[in-house]
Structure 1
């Protein structure tokens, strides 16, 4: 009798062990199955989402095959149950378990938007409208309303954001990015204004920003910026008009069709530096750090003129005679290319 009882106990243990092995094997197969996605995919997890509801969602999306043993996953892998809210990116080469690890331990998916030096606020708004996964909260707002929302005491926002790359996560708004870009602009501008050269013909940091925007539009050659700055600073010191084409173009607005005619140079606008003295009333573009640096620390030169060289840079001159020669040389190069 005792022998039968012992045999029965051994049999029950074997059956139990076999059952546990089967369950564990099924659960392991479930957790190790590859995700059924073909490219990196975003998944947004709302606050309060439970581990089991997340599994059901993955199954309902046909990203994983369901299993009657999935409810045991939380007990077998308690470290994976700390589900975080947010938007995450999961890859096609991950198993279910690897994907869950990335959702628990990984960072939210980030996206980037890059604003180039010399771009305008109008162009920025277009980029914001096209940016994926960004809340477009300012789409129907006027420029003045955006300024008010950002607590900027100006109706015109041109130049008030630093041109660089900004990263954002799902749920952030264009206003959030603008706020960060404006704060970054103020930080950089104040740092350079504090260590500006002596005797500059600039009274405020905002004037330095305005000059930086003109420099930004005049040259894309980094090493030229301080020299271009010196030309404008020299002109401001002697009361000479800046006479820079980008200001004319900005003042023309939508009327600019790719060419500046003589009458455009003669038509007064608040931004036409062929007809006004001094700086424009506002910046004419967004700037990068290098243009700000050049505006407050120009090269020490006697130059008053510059014209395109025809090779990507400019030719600088101290007097009108030399400048006219440089202009004729440039025009000859243009004709030779036709």
Structure 2
């Protein structure tokens, strides 16, 4: 080999060696950068930052969404490599995600693979009527854009009628009052008011069936639905947990004896909710006092003119009211009257009750 050829070969060899060393150095640098990328907080993520990942969005689309939010997510290549390393490539869920300060790419990909999307909440309040629940669901669309509204409406002329609501829930011709369990329900973006109603209906069924199985054999109630009706009355009579079992026992004793229940909330329900088709201001109803004429006017819900239970519940009873009806207190009281401080005075005889009325009602007036 000539000296000239040897020199060219040596130059080429040195170039190759330098290129290999450069490639190794670059690979080492990129690996170091990648390692730092995966487990270092994503720059630009502030408290309560959210991204909404559409269905079918690729990982590069998620990275683009973060950039639109003013976040610096780093190279898309790193995200793809990390997703493959974690085994979550192609398995990321769509939905809303909360990005808290300090969140790393590794933690975010694991969160998305697990579908840990933002959970919204809607509370059905104990004692609400079906109308109040529907109005609250309608109002929720303005405070939480995540909830899709299919049924609720504040306009009587355009709202889907109760029978249609129950038909969509698979129970056509069933009166809706009282059938939904007051609880706080979580939902994710894209779920609807119908979804919440369906869950609340199933929750009430399960709760009522469980409690009904624990009933006393001497209860005058003939079905779970009758228990639901009475629980709704107990719910509206008192907000005090310690009084619900006592009031339930008073009503159960009256049913056994064939006495009229004589409870004001049923009269109010019959007059204002039924006679007005449920389209009334719920806040105003709570302030209305019934008159002697109201008590004397016979309706299916007037428990002063009719014995037994009204035809349907008058509100949505909570679990405590339901439990009180199935497990009432042991008392011989047949009467009670409001004392004016949120509590009631219970009496076993009419004479004692009349004295309590004179003390707490007539005297106060």
Does 2:295 correspond to 1:269? no
The answer (yes or no) to whether the contact 2:92–2:109 under 8 Å persists in 1 is no
Distance in 2 (CA, whole Å) between partners of 1:9 and 1:39 is: 50
Residue 158 of structure 1 contacts residue 285 of structure 1 at CA under 8 Å; is this kept in 2?
A: yes
| Contact 1:121 1:285 (8 Å CA) reproduced | yes
Residue of structure 2 aligned with 1:207, choices 219, 223, 226 = 226
Unpaired runs of 5+ residues, structure 2, are 1-6, 153-158, 273-279
Query: Any residues of structure 2 matched to 1:111-122 within 5 Å, and which?
Result: 111-122=120-131
Check if 1:317 corresponds to 2:324.
Answer: no
Structure 2 CA distance for aligned equivalents of residues 334 and 30 of structure 1: 73
Higher mean displacement: 28-37 or 247-256:
28-37
Judged with a 3 Å threshold, the aligned counterparts in structure 2 of structure 1 residues 76 and 103 are, in CA distance, closer, same or farther, namely closer
Structure 2 residue aligned with 1:138, among 140, 151, 165? 151
- Listed one character per residue, the Cα deviations across residues 116-169 of structure 1 (whole Å, up to 9, x for unaligned) are 221111111122123322221112321110111111243420111111222111
Secondary structure of 1:167's aligned partner: strand
In structure 2, relative to structure 1, the CA distance for the partners of 1:193 and 1:26 (3 Å cut) is closer
The alignment status of 1:216 with 2:235, answered yes or no, reads yes
- Cα distance between partner residues in 1 of 2:68 and 2:50: 16
- SS state of the match for residue 331, structure 1? helix
Q: RMSD of the alignment, in Å?
A: 2.7
Output the CA distance in 2 between the equivalents of 1:145 and 1:35. 51
Corresponding residue for 2:3?
A: none
Question: Which residues in structure 2 correspond to 1:239-254 (within 5 Å)?
Answer: 239-253=258-272, 254=280
Compute the displacement of 1:86 (Å). Answer: 2.7
Give the TM-score of the pair, scaled to structure 1: 0.87
Q: Which residue of 2 aligns with 1:233?
A: 252
Shift of 1:239: 1.9
SS in 2 for 1:53: helix
Q: CA deviation at 1:310?
A: 3.1
Contact 1:88–1:103 (CA under 8 A) maintained in structure 2:
no
SS in 1 for 2:52: strand
On the 8 A contact 1:41/1:90 being kept in 2, the answer is yes
Q: Call closer, same or farther: CA 1:105–1:325 in 2, change over 3 Å.
A: same
Partner of 2:212 in structure 1?
A: 193
Correspondence 1:31-110 to 2 at 5 A: 32=40, 34-64=42-72, 69-75=75-81, 77-78=83-84, 79=86, 81-95=89-103, 97=105, 98-110=107-119
Spell out, residue by residue over 1:64-121, the C-alpha distance to the aligned partner (whole angstroms, 9 max, x if none). Answer: 36x6x43354135522534523313222404561433422345222122122221111
Q: How does 1:276-287 map to 2 (within 5 A)?
A: 276-287=306-317
> Aligned partners of 2:181 and 2:304: how far apart in 1?
27
State the SS of the aligned residue for 2:57: coil
- Per the TM alignment, residue 21 of structure 1 is displaced from its structure 2 partner at its CA by 4.5
Pair 333,220 (structure 1): closer, same or farther in 2 beyond 3 Å: farther
Residue 208 of structure 1 aligns to a residue whose secondary structure is: helix
Unpaired segments ≥5 residues, structure 1: none
* Corresponding position of 1:165: 184
Give the structure-2-normalised TM-score. Answer: 0.81
